[in-house]
Structure 1
Amino acid sequence: MSPCGGYFNFGQFFGSTGFFTVMIMGAISSTIYIWLMKKNITIKMPDSVPPAVANAFTGIIPATAALYVSGIIGYIFSKVGTTVIEFVAKTLQDPLLNLSQGFGAVILMVILVQIFWFFGIHGTNVLGPVMDSIWLTAQLANINAFQQGKALPYLWTRNSFDLYGWIGGAGSTLLLLLAILMFSKRDDQRAVAKLSLAPGFFNINEPVMFGMPIVLDPIYFIPFILAPTVMVSIAYGAVTLGWVEPIKNQIIWSMPPVINVLIATMDWRAVVLQLFNMFIGFMIYVPFVKAANKLSPAKG
């Protein structure tokens, strides 16, 4: 028997199953609230009422309307023998999650993020809603399954991108910094690399992206796209073949390499995989760092 006398299954609906529904219903409620506020469909108090008091009444009608619309939607689904959460999970969430585990979907997301970043757009944030709604949902399902002692349902999750393809930030720019410090003869790039190295260990790559810059730099366009693509491909194959455990713990994005993958997977082989990927990414960047040595720094 489920909690609340069988009316609402907290164990199921408060896990990854309800993640999509929360976002959809939240978007609907917010849209209704904002629309009513813009139309000034609010409680208007007399001018004699202090603003602090009057403002407290302003959102009552929009909030109530949004709440009732959400309730009505839930009521309609209950009348056909299901819930909003179950309907969204079966018709939208499950197909997308199954699609997300394909190699093509994973690589496409990596390439899109890199392209956005190359043009100066924060690709990780722009595509964050897509990544979080799909791969973070898969990650939450893995975390729940691990805590319950069950088999992990998904091989590739949100943190998989960070651990194996975006080491030091999108593009694995930490590896570029190491390549510059070892092989670059340009004082301008070495100066930026020295300043960017410490943030890079915590996956903050804005200093190198805009300080080098990598943005709109034709020299680094190819390795910036190629390195994460190759690294993710290697990791995807290793996880799919069962050589490395999938992610089973949530980590924060700013956690340094090696530590992050060990905590996320609790598998020493994942550390080996990450270090191997770092070597591969580093070797991809090296020829382009040497090519940049032949160019004079731009002068303002």
Structure 2
Amino acid sequence: MIGKLEKFLLPLANKLSMNRYLSAIRDGFIAIMPLMIVGSFFILINNVFIGENGLTAKLFNLPLLELTELGNAIVPATMSVMSVLLTFTTAKALCETYKEDTTITPIIAVVTLFILMPISTNADLGIEIINTQYTGAAAIFMAFISAICTVEIIRKLSTFDKIIIKMPDSVPPSIARSFNKLIPVMLTIIIFGIVRYFTDLAGSPLNDLIFKFIQTPFTNIVSSPVGLVIIYILYMLLWGLGIHSAFIFGPILEPIYLATLTANSAALQSGAQMTGIITKPFVDSVAFMGGAGNMFALLIAILLVSKRSDYKTIAKLGFAPAIFNISEPLMFGLPVVMNPILIIPMILSTLSGLLIGTISTVLGFMGYTYVLVPWVTPPVVNSFLSSGGSIGAAITVVIIFVVSVLIYIPFVKIADKQIQNEQ
């Protein structure tokens, strides 16, 4: 069985992991992640601790509204410019895969993003206005399109010697590079300007078209029950084959999850009802306790029932890393990799965690997640913080953990019997 899966999945996984566009998107996200975490924590502080309905108001009747001004300045500066930042970092990462100069093209990618944005003018105030809908999480797909297309168009145009302005050797290299790219850059900007012209004729900004025909349907597929089951079965199967699934699925899933998380944050700040269940901190909380497949539950199951000295030794060694959701000591030490006895409960634990977490959220017991916390945040603490201090979220994760331990126990006993039979 494992051999057949390996023959089918490994070539596909290798192609996806080596895809330069997915790699660029992944690296682009990694570059802005610290800013997203900072912005999320200030949302948490403003809404849970010091805001009008925060803990200081409820416990001491003392809302510290003046202090929320700090968060009100920081949150838009981090969360509302997400697509602008991603355009730059993704274009830069893609240029690096081509070993191209990264000083010019990423900047042009940001310019092309703004070309595609609708800009309204307030004649009374004498200002131009860009809706943050087109600079934040709702425009993530447009950011990727702008970044990738800009890099590819400039690269292609730069291969035509007749449009390259060549400078004398005496000119400093930085200035020479700027002039070399001048005509390709100008033509690229014109191309995006033409695209903007036709979308204006169509009566809808390009981002709205992308959101309607690409981003929303893709989000619905990824967040649907069937979509989640398929994705996370494949996710865990690849881990079972020794492939770090996050490198393959991360660039595909994280834009969707981040957009949902940001929509929840915006709903909270505006006083509306949050509706997005599947976010990255949600998945981390219910399916990645101790690492992919709730490895911490496997560790506890081993310490509770296993009679194998090698399993117990590895479980003890992997205890500290697992607290911070680092699963490699268990994945490769037991190993779980290429071990069908442990791959099966890893899949079952993941799916049961997603199911219980979703039901708990729908019932209103587990709070919606709207804070992006670091993935190394320990289990239970992760769910508590990412849901804005929801006790129900923490209790739900504890229940999922217990269920996961119970799922792993029979398979750990089977592994014990297997080694006894071999001896």
TM normalised by structure 2 equals 0.64
Task: Could you tell me which runs of 5 or more consecutive residues in structure 2 were left unpaired when the two chains were aligned.
Answer: 1-118
Separation (CA, whole Å) in 2 of partners of 1:178 and 1:60 = 61
Q: Which residue of 2 aligns with 1:283?
A: 406
Please state if 1:145 is matched with 2:279.
no
Q: 1:48-63 counterparts in 2 under 5 A? A: 48-49=170-171, 54-55=176-177, 57-63=179-185
Please state if 1:32 is matched with 2:32.
no
Q: Which residue of 1 aligns with 2:103?
A: none
Counterpart contact for 1:15–1:144, Cα < 8 Å: no
* Of 1, 4, 13, the match for 2:134: 13
What code does the residue aligned with 2:151 have?
S
What code does the residue aligned with 2:215 have?
Q
Please state how far the C-alpha of 1:3 moved relative to its aligned partner.
7.0
Q: CA 1:202 to 1:3, structure 2 compared with 1: closer, same or farther past 3 Å?
A: farther
Q: CA 1:48 to 1:3, structure 2 compared with 1: closer, same or farther past 3 Å?
A: closer
Please state how far the C-alpha of 1:58 moved relative to its aligned partner.
4.9
Segment of structure 1 superposing worse, 176-185 or 3-12: 3-12
Q: 1:1-300 counterparts in 2 under 5 A? A: 5=122, 8-36=129-157, 42-49=164-171, 54-55=176-177, 57-266=179-388, 267-296=390-419
Q: CA 1:228 to 1:49, structure 2 compared with 1: closer, same or farther past 3 Å?
A: same
Q: CA 1:35 to 1:205, structure 2 compared with 1: closer, same or farther past 3 Å?
A: farther
Separation (CA, whole Å) in 2 of partners of 1:50 and 1:14 = 35
More helix by share: 2
Counterpart contact for 2:257–2:279, Cα < 8 Å: yes
Structure 2 residue matching 1:293: 3-state secondary structure? helix
Separation (CA, whole Å) in 2 of partners of 1:39 and 1:251 = 47
What code does the residue aligned with 1:205 have?
S
Aligned-pair Cα RMSD in Å: 2.7
What percent identity do the matched residue pairs reach? 32
Separation (CA, whole Å) in 2 of partners of 1:168 and 1:211 = 14
Q: CA 1:63 to 1:125, structure 2 compared with 1: closer, same or farther past 3 Å?
A: farther
Segment of structure 1 superposing worse, 164-173 or 182-191: 182-191
Structure 1 residue matching 2:349: 3-state secondary structure? helix
More relative contact order, 1 or 2 (CA 8 Å, 6+ apart): 1
Separation (CA, whole Å) in 1 of partners of 2:345 and 2:351 = 9
- Residue by residue, what CA displacement relative to the aligned partner does 1:143-194 show, whole Å, maximum 9, x if unpaired? 1111222111323223221111121111111111122223223232222222
Separation (CA, whole Å) in 2 of partners of 1:95 and 1:188 = 47
Please state how far the C-alpha of 1:100 moved relative to its aligned partner.
3.5
Separation (CA, whole Å) in 2 of partners of 1:57 and 1:272 = 61
Separation (CA, whole Å) in 2 of partners of 1:139 and 1:170 = 20
Separation (CA, whole Å) in 1 of partners of 2:129 and 2:208 = 12
Please state how far the C-alpha of 1:220 moved relative to its aligned partner.
0.8
Please state how far the C-alpha of 1:227 moved relative to its aligned partner.
1.0
Counterpart contact for 1:101–1:154, Cα < 8 Å: no
What code does the residue aligned with 1:15 have?
G
- Residue by residue, what CA displacement relative to the aligned partner does 1:223-269 show, whole Å, maximum 9, x if unpaired? 11111111111112222233322212222211111111111112110
What code does the residue aligned with 1:222 have?
I
Separation (CA, whole Å) in 1 of partners of 2:287 and 2:393 = 13
Please state how far the C-alpha of 1:62 moved relative to its aligned partner.
4.5
Task: Could you tell me which runs of 5 or more consecutive residues in structure 1 were left unpaired when the two chains were aligned.
Answer: none
Give the aligned length.
297
Counterpart contact for 1:249–1:264, Cα < 8 Å: yes
Counterpart contact for 1:118–1:221, Cα < 8 Å: yes
Separation (CA, whole Å) in 2 of partners of 1:114 and 1:85 = 34
Separation (CA, whole Å) in 1 of partners of 2:351 and 2:196 = 42
Separation (CA, whole Å) in 2 of partners of 1:170 and 1:152 = 27
Structure 2 residue matching 1:219: 3-state secondary structure? helix
Separation (CA, whole Å) in 2 of partners of 1:101 and 1:241 = 18
Counterpart contact for 1:124–1:170, Cα < 8 Å: no
Structure 2 residue matching 1:108: 3-state secondary structure? helix
Separation (CA, whole Å) in 2 of partners of 1:100 and 1:240 = 18
Separation (CA, whole Å) in 1 of partners of 2:393 and 2:187 = 50
Counterpart contact for 2:236–2:343, Cα < 8 Å: no
